[in-house]
Amino acid sequence: MSREKSRDGITRRDFLRRAAASAALGVGAASGLAARVGRASAAEAEERAGTASGAEVEEKNGMKYRVLGRTELKVSELGLGLIQTNNPAVIHRALDLGVNYFDTAECYQGGNSEIKLGEALKERREEAIVATKWHTNGSTPAADLLKSLDGSLQRLKMDHVELIQIHGAENAAQVESDELWEAFGKARDAGKVRFNGLSTHGNQVEVIRAAIECGRYDAVLPSYNALIGERVGPAVREAHEAGLGTIIMKALQPAHEGKGTAAFEKLGGSPYQQAIRWVLNDPNVSTAIVDMPTFEEVEEDVAAATGRTSETELAEFEGAVSQVSAGACHLCGSCTGQCPRNVRVADIMRYSLYHDGYGDGARAAELYRALPVAASAAACRDCSQCRVVCPWGVAVRSRMERAHVRLA
């Protein structure tokens, strides 16, 4: 079942009937691609359960909870990302099903994401662990960061959040910012935040390792899934072993990339559920946040988190992912800096994922139009020869031209 269908009018009854018919998956040892990224075997995972910070430590009504690194917060294995969610009732449904981790940011929906989350949690704040974000270029004054946090708290109508994160850290300068550390210290001392983290879209491995080495962070939020596991998985494991909470985004990317292909059509059940289960099969993961703006998606994704998957089904899913790997964007950032015209190829590829995969054309267009004109894909239209070489075989120029047509 495609995510688009669930948003375009499938009834809740129809959805639940389909989900019940296809949702039988359980946790076994990882195989294939999973084994290559250094996951624990089933026996090792069982031995570590209850002691490792990412391992399951508690279960309530089917939802499992893991410890978020050194914070000791018990977070639901599935978290709700709030980029697109507009209906407070959807947030309440997620809470009812055991979801307790909520991820937002000042820029989501122009600040409305924080407002709507705050409204939804007004009577249920004690049930939720809330994370939001602030921006720094590595030298952003502490006063500006604190002002940003105060704006978020005002929109949320909360006196504190559990986690504040750099939004999209790309280099060590941002990670090691003394101004940011000063701002976090003041915010923590004032009781406005409890813990410090970062998200990253570019140079993920380097950013995660910088966060580990500097010792200032409690959690990291990278993209991680079956398509990019071999590259990002070792850094996720290192962060977990260093005591950092590991919050995962873009878990659904393989299902988006494989949508409509023969390899994915042959899979039993929902590829979106299998993509979530692949991530949660890793004991180095604390939680995976997924954007779930509809009741149907909440039900589908919670069923994935509360279900189980077998070793055979994991291997079949990984096999399907491997078949669509060539020509798919791996969000690796290898294209960064290659274009002689300075087109922001990596960013535009990510915006295309938002448009094509997430069905969030408005956000994709907003981000694309915010790029400097010289950095947009407009320059690709009269380029005689694309010099950007993708190690995964992505046809960069045609992707850029298509993105410009759709997003400009």
- Provide the CATH number for the domain around residue 260: 3.20.20.100
pLDDT at 395: 92
% of the chain beyond a pLDDT of 90: 72
% of the chain beyond a pLDDT of 70: 86
pLDDT at 151: 98
Express each pLDDT in 33-79 by its tens digit.
Answer: 443 343 334 343 333 333 345 566 778 888 999 999 999 999 999 99
364 and 256 in one domain? Answer: no
231 and 380 in one domain? Answer: no
Using CA atoms, how far residue 276 sits from 39, 224, 248, in Å, is 15, 10, 10
127 and 54 in one domain? Answer: yes
The whole-number average pLDDT for the span 209-218 is 97
371 and 240 in one domain? Answer: no
**Does residue 186 sit within a domain?**
yes
pLDDT at 37: 40
pLDDT at 52: 43
Residue 260: pLDDT band (50, 70, 90) is confident
Express each pLDDT in 332-376 by its tens digit.
Answer: 888 998 999 999 999 999 999 889 888 889 989 999 999 999 999
Express each pLDDT in 264-276 by its tens digit.
Answer: 998 888 999 999 9
**Does residue 143 sit within a domain?**
yes
**Does residue 155 sit within a domain?**
yes
Q: 3-state class of 102 per DSSP?
A: strand
Give the chain's domain count.
Answer: 2
**Does residue 391 sit within a domain?**
yes
Count of H-run helices and E-run strands, the chain: 19, 11
What dihedral angle (degrees, nearest 10) is formed by the CA atoms of 331, 337, 341, 343?
30
| Average pLDDT, rounded, for the chain | 87
The beta-strand segments (E) located in 234-286 are 245-248
Residue 28: pLDDT band (50, 70, 90) is very low
**Does residue 334 sit within a domain?**
no
391 and 252 in one domain? Answer: no
Residue 254: pLDDT band (50, 70, 90) is very high
354 and 247 in one domain? Answer: no
For residue 217, pLDDT beyond 70: yes
The whole-number average pLDDT for the span 258-268 is 90
Select from 293, 324, 355 the last residue of a domain: 324
Select from 324, 356, 375 the last residue of a domain: 324
230 and 99 in one domain? Answer: yes
Report CA torsion sign: 222, 225, 228, 234: positive
CA 246 – CA 274 distance, rounded (Å): 20
For residue 261, pLDDT beyond 70: yes
**Does residue 340 sit within a domain?**
no
Residue 202: pLDDT band (50, 70, 90) is confident
357 and 253 in one domain? Answer: no
The whole-number average pLDDT for the span 179-188 is 98
Burial bucket for residue 178 (CB in 10 Å: 0-12, 13-18, 19+): exposed
For residue 309, pLDDT beyond 60: yes
Compare 168 and 18 and report the one with higher pLDDT: 168
**With contact defined as beta carbons under 8 Å apart, do 38 and 234 qualify?**
yes
pTM, to two decimals = 0.84
**Does residue 331 sit within a domain?**
no
**Does residue 338 sit within a domain?**
no
Of the residues 65, 101, 108, 351, only one is catalytic, namely 108
Domain that holds residue 351: 345-407
362 and 303 in one domain? Answer: no
What dihedral angle (degrees, nearest 10) is formed by the CA atoms of 342, 344, 349, 354?
-160
159 and 59 in one domain? Answer: yes
218 and 130 in one domain? Answer: yes
pLDDT at 26: 32
353 and 291 in one domain? Answer: no
Residue 224 among the catalytic residues: no
Express each pLDDT in 77-111 by its tens digit.
Answer: 999 999 999 899 999 999 999 999 999 999 999 99
